[in-house]
Amino acid sequence: MKVSVIGAGTMGAGIAQIAATKGHEVYLYDSFDGAIETAENKLKKILNRMVEKKRITQQENIEILERINFTKEITEVSGSELVIEAIIENLEIKQKVFTEIESLVDKDCIIASNTSSLSIASIASSCKNAERVVGIHFFNPAPLMPLVEIIPAVQTSEDTLNKAKSIIDSWKKETVVAKDTPGFIVNRVARPFYGEAIKIYEEGVADFATIDWALKEIGGFRMGPFQLMDYIGNDINYTVTETVFTAFYFDSRYKPSFTQKRMMEAGYLGRKSGRGYYNYANKIPRANEDRVLGKKILWRILAMLINEAADALFLNIATKEDIDLAMTKGVNYPKGLLAWADEIGVDNVLQQLEDLQAEYSEDRYRPSPLLKRMVTANKTFY
């Protein structure tokens, strides 16, 4: 099967690598000066490193590269059975690209977007046959992260959805199906991990290092929120938050933070700029390892995360199994949030949210109706 990838940035090149590794003939396209050459050089380095680490053989390295065609001619996507777009998060540009792709491929070709937050329905509207369009959202780095969100638009046919899911499943990825709503599953449910952590810092409850310590050492998260924001990049993380906030008609649950905005404006983007919440030229500050304080921090953020996961289930964004799988495989959470709620008690989660709402009088802490109904009926998620 011929697979084409539009956009040769880190994500596009990663998707091309996966498809080629799985035996497909791949065309990686980019029109920007130097983008294709850069992608080719980076891929060669990555594959050589994989040979050194004995993850693939030298022969496999050669074969993977032979299957990838690096091109600056978009006409070369013709004959593809699947085209995945992985370009800038700009709706107008994506729509223009989709219109062009549709004119070059046959009627059975699936055209997919790797967007992390834009409406698949809006992207699909640029095509005459919108039924063939679907969201296929990988996570960075695509070859390593197991999760892929499959997002059907209102126009997407059942056949397109099933075919897209089947292809990505055959690539040995963990697929979840999500409704076409802002942030899909992961970028929606994960917002409080960052937003509530920043709010705790802004209130002077604890510093960055202590909040990170609490989430890692007590909660079991692989990275603390400030470490993770520095890893992702404050520019990227802030933009996703702002996009989700705007797309949800300015719902206060997704409200961006001035603290992160100022970091972005100052150029303190995180690891890639050498400074973010931490200055990477210096030693990371010591945390205040007070377990009582740590549990308080963890409990507040965890209750918000569980509430978001419960609301996603309440609004039929995805199944409970897919929501939990998405958070464990997409952002490496130590447990599925809904299973975690069962473990600590849905009633305890609801009580924490009601206490926060009473204290702050803010709508951001409103409990999901599903949590209220479950406590009333004495039910659990599983």
> Which of 109, 157, 118, 158 is closest to 137 using CA atoms?
118
Is residue 196 part of the annotated active site? The answer reads no
Is residue 116 part of the annotated active site? The answer reads yes
> Which of 245, 263, 266, 243 is closest to 254 using CA atoms?
245
Catalytic-role residue among 24, 114, 117, 137: 137
Is residue 24 part of the annotated active site? The answer reads no
| Burial label, 128 (beta-carbon count in 10 A; 0-12, 13-18, 19+) | exposed
Are 338 and 305 contacting, i.e. CB atoms less than 8 angstroms apart? no
Is residue 288 part of the annotated active site? The answer reads no
Angle between helices 35-52 and 10-21 (to 10 degrees): 50
Q: What share of the chain is helix, strand, coil (3-state, %, to 5)?
A: 55, 10, 35
Catalytic-role residue among 187, 234, 307, 368: 187
> Which of 241, 302, 258 is closest to 116 using CA atoms?
241
Q: Other C-beta atoms within 10 Å of 353: how many?
A: 22
Are 97 and 123 contacting, i.e. CB atoms less than 8 angstroms apart? no
Q: List beta partners, residue 150.
A: 136, 177
Catalytic-role residue among 61, 113, 116, 368: 116
Catalytic-role residue among 85, 102, 149, 308: 149
Catalytic residues: 116, 137, 149, 187
